[in-house]
Structure 1
Amino acid sequence: MGQLQQVERYIQEGDVDALGRLIEQLNESTDFDMLYEAAGLLVDYGFMGEADRIYETLLLHLPDEAQLKIDRASTLLELGEEDEALLLLTDVGPDDEEYVQALLALADYYQMSGMAEAALSKIKEAHTLVPYEPVIRFAYAELLLESGKYGEAARLYLDLLEETDEIGGISMVARLAETYSAGAAYEEAIPYYEKMLQDQVLPDILFGAAFAYFQSGNAERAVAHLTDLIEMDPDYFSAYMLAGQSLSVMGEDRQAYDLFKDGIRRDEFDKELRLAAGKSALKLGLPEEAEGHLQEALALDPEYVEPLITLASLYSEGEEDAKLFELLSYTKEEWGDHPLLNAFMAYAYERDEQYDDAYVSYGKAYVGMRDDHGFLESYANFLVEEGKREEALVVVKELVSLVPENEYWRAYLEAQNDEEV
């Protein structure tokens, strides 16, 4: 039995001790081709440490073999010996035939380590050296996509599509749809989604196509795809949200609301669907239903500020001050110094004749609402009523600057100026 067959036998039998003794013997051999094959076999079976011992032996005898440096570097990376691996890879120079291979290995390492720019630099250099190699063009496109360089990635995928439908099992059409969508070029993405749907109708493709149509302003086509998707997979929860939003854009508010509720029945823990249902109910003039949905969204996530604002707005508009105080007192840590919520509190305190508290809340809200003329007008009225003339003047000046056509406050400001004269 040959030594390679023995290596494989010991691996398959799990005889680690015998394998270790055999590797010691192999390392004494000068049959470098056999040693190289043995190392590759060990790598295939996941025996990286044993393979590395053989690669190290080979490099002692053949220190200038670039392929050995790359192979050993790969095993060292698997073993977590990154510094030594990088030294080997960077020791492969531009004059070596394997230089491009080393660049690709470095790009892989940098990509896995989260160093996107370094990875992109290496793959770009490889692409410059062999610009017509499909695998390298594809790898370059993949890194460009990951780095957010969508236009450049799309151009490479388009070039590749002229030559092949897929590389490594990855469809170029699918990549183009994904790349254009990621770059917000939704109209360009649509034909590629439709081409994929001609070949195979899958939930993710239907959703991608629907999202592209929605973003392109074609809500009807989005709804058509989403209807098919929900029929195919009723538990594809994201479809309910997008379908409801699409119907709302089309003016089909009742259908949108019903769809949001269908989604909630499928996924009772989806806080965003409950928020959407709450807003939809408000649009339909159903405040009690809206209140229920918004409270449920907050019960799922007390730190979810958007339903908190919507519910507080509902209470403020209805002058349900007791509910507003309870809501915002209970969730004080979640909203803190949010300007709009402080404004709601200020209005409620003023209605409740708690003027000191109203003054504090108005001041907190003012910091972030100086471009809201409705708030400024309420604040100005409050300050005038409280006799805080100098503070009122500051607010009125901002209000008149923001809404110069407001004759009442312009006249007030002129009257104050005349008094000063």
Structure 2
Amino acid sequence: MDRVNKIISMLENGQHNEALNEYNVLLQSGMPDEKYLLSEELYQYGFLDEAKALVENLLEMYPEEGELLVLLSEILIEAGEEEEAILILEKISEHDANFGQSLLLLADLYQVQGLYEVCENKLLKAKEILPNEIIIDFALGELYSEQGEIRQAMAAYEKVLTEESEIAGVNIHQRMADLLSTSGLFEEALVYYDKALDEKLEINTLFGYAFTALQAGYNRTAIEKFNELKELDPEYHSLYLHLAMAYEREEELENSIRAIKEGIKQDEFNKELFFYGGKISIKLGKIEEAEQLFREAIALDPGFTEAALTLNKLLFQQERHEDVLDLISALDIAEDEEPQFLWDSALALEKLEKFSSALDKYESAYTFFKNNEAFLQDYGYFLVEEGKSDLAAEIFKQLLIKDPTNFEYLDLVERLNDFKD
């Protein structure tokens, strides 16, 4: 195999032209075992066209050789030619020693295409042929997991665990924990996270453990694990928001806002951190700080509806009605996309005594809120103040349908009808 080693050495030393010349000689006159070995090496190095040519050359001599067909299909898959690879793999006979490997490759290809039933059939067939091959159990676990078949996935992963706790670079205990966590089975997930961390301290596993503990309501455990993660990797941005949530649930608001500010230092473009920080600041009575944090969130995303609505509530509480209108006009959100802004605009304009404009906003908002009792109250009382008795009477009649025993509504309807008469 000296010629193969020589070609690989040339490639490693950057002598590509010389390597190509030697390759062409071997392609034309090399021995089959040389061609096969070189094709494998070139495939690993990413020289797919050259590897493919060698395998196709060999297939001219050995057209039904399963090992060659499998290698060619792997090269085609790496080159993005999946359909061609499927056609090659389907040629391999059931009696070929490589049939099981071909089934695994086909299963992977069909899973990528979303053909889960075909994929499952291939894997189960492979399991019949290779009953002790745990890579098949792992593949079944991955398939069932992707389909949301939790118990079937767990059963497949458990079979893997009878021999290995890690396969294809995947910690099986972590895989099971993640699956259970995303399925809402938090208590069960924590057991497997413990096992995964006992085997290997890995930051994604630690985050999964902490996040699942938070979802399960084990706030102190979540705090402990998030802080452990922070010590290991302070640039793990996702931890800070959830750490702040855990502290808030424990009513440790100063620690919560501290976690938010630490997170902002690490990730200054995370709008959710600014927004959550604003809400915590309100709880702490730090209204100016809350407003600033909300405005930072909106500056990062002018379409951040939740932050804008929350800031509007704060501005209304301070009777800063001009600021409400300024905020709404600066947003990258159409009022018909979030009709609450129509309602907010109507209220602000009414307070500023811009009654004609307020009426326009109320009329536009009515389309969206005609079944909302709070809106109908605002609109109805506005119409009363504006002397629009007929319209006001209609609005309070609608309110009476919702609350027939409301004496205030009854009295208003009677007075409005008397006024009309």
Percent of pairs identical after alignment?
33
After superposition, give the CA deviation of every residue in 1:347-385 in whole Å (9 maximum; x if it has no partner).
111122222211222233333334532222112222344
Of residues 409-418 and 127-136 in structure 1, the stretch that sits farther from structure 2 once superposed is 409-418
Q: Would you say 1:36 and 2:33 are equivalent positions?
A: no
C-alpha change, 1:5 and 1:315, in structure 2 (3 Å) is closer
Change (3 A) 1:389 1:138: farther
Displacement after TM superposition at 1:269 (Å): 3.2
- Give the 3 Å change call, closer, same or farther, for CA 16–213 of structure 1 in structure 2: closer
Matched residue, 1:211 = 211
Alpha-carbon distance change, 175 to 28 in structure 1, aligned in 2, over 3 angstroms: same
Do 2:48 and 2:75's aligned partners in 1 also have CA atoms closer than 8 Å? yes
Shift of 1:329: 1.9
Q: Is the 8 A contact 1:207 1:239 kept in 2?
A: yes
Q: Give the Å deviation of 1:108.
A: 3.5
Within 5 Å, give how 1:343-354 maps onto structure 2: 343-354=343-354
Alignment check: 8 A CA contact 1:151 1:183 kept: no
Amino acid at match of 1:334: I
CA distance in 2, matches of 1:12, 1:72: 24
The aligned runs of 1:113-124 (5 Å cut-off) are 115=113, 117-118=114-115, 121-124=118-121
Work out whether 1:336 is the aligned partner of 2:335.
yes
Query: Counterparts of 1:300 and 1:145 in 2: how far apart (Å)?
Result: 36
With normalisation by structure 2, the TM-score equals 0.86
Corresponding residue of 1:45: 45
Stretch of structure 1 that moved more, 36-45 or 144-153: 144-153
CA RMSD of aligned residues (A): 3.2
Gaps of at least 5 residues in structure 2 are: none
Matched, 1:134 2:131: no
Out of 120, 125, 135, the residue aligned to residue 122 of structure 2 is 125
Q: How far is 1:171 from its partner?
A: 1.5
The aligned residue for residue 369 of structure 2 is 369
Deviation at 1:64, TM superposition (A): 2.1
The DSSP-based 3-state class of the residue aligned with 1:307 is: helix
Stretch moving more, 284-293 or 254-263: 254-263
Match of 1:157 in 2: 157
Give, as a single letter, the amino acid of the residue that structure 1 aligns with 2:124.
H
Cα separation, 2, equivalents of 1:319 and 1:411:
30
* 1:260 counterpart SS class: helix
Q: Deviation digits for residues 57-101 of structure 1, max 9, x if unmatched?
A: 222222222332221122233334444333212333555443332
The residue aligned with 1:381 is 381
* Residue correspondence of structure 1 range 213-292 to structure 2 within 5 A: 213-292=213-292
Aligned equivalents of 2:257 and 2:80: distance in 1? 54
Normalised TM-score (structure 1): 0.86
Q: Say which SS state the counterpart of residue 369 (structure 2) adopts.
A: coil
State the distance in 1 between where 2:420 and 2:320 align: 41
**Separation in 1, partners of 2:181, 2:276:** 24
Deviations 1:116-154 (A, max 9, x none): x22663254223441642101112222333444444323
Say if 1:108 and 1:119, in contact at 8 Å, map to a contact too.
no
Contact 2:141–2:154 (Cα < 8 Å) also in 1: yes
After TM superposition, the structure 1 = structure 2 runs for residues 66-85 of structure 1, keeping only pairs within 5 Å, are 66-85=66-85
Query: Which letter maps to 2:256?
Result: A
Give the conservation status (yes or no) of the 8 Å contact 1:211–1:222.
Answer: yes
- Contact conserved, 2:11 with 2:19, CA < 8 A, in 1? yes
Looking at structure 2, the residues matched to 339 and 51 of structure 1 have their Cα atoms a distance apart, in angstroms, of: 61
Q: Tell whether the 8 Å contact from 1:244 to 1:257 is kept in structure 2 after alignment.
A: yes
Counterpart of 2:310?
Answer: 310
* Distance in 1, Cα, partners of 2:9 & 2:76: 25
On the 8 A contact 1:59/1:65 being kept in 2, the answer is: yes
Greater displacement, 43-52 / 123-132? 123-132
The SS at the match of 1:367 is helix
For the Cα contact (< 8 Å) 2:389–2:420, is it kept in 1?
no
Cα distance between partner residues in 2 of 1:102 and 1:6: 32
Distance in 2, matches of 1:155 and 1:265, equals 43
Q: How far apart are the structure 2 equivalents of 1:291 and 1:283?
A: 12
Q: Which residue does the alignment assign to 2:59?
A: 59
CA drift at 1:311: 0.8
Task: Return 316-325 or 147-156, whichever deviates more.
Answer: 147-156
Aligned CA distance change for structure 1 residues 205 and 384 (closer, same or farther; 3 Å):
same
Q: Secondary structure of 1:336's match?
A: coil
Partner of residue 92, structure 2: 92
Do the aligned residues in 2 keep the contact of 1:48 with 1:75 (CA within 8 Å)?
A: yes
How many positions carry a matched residue from both structures? 417
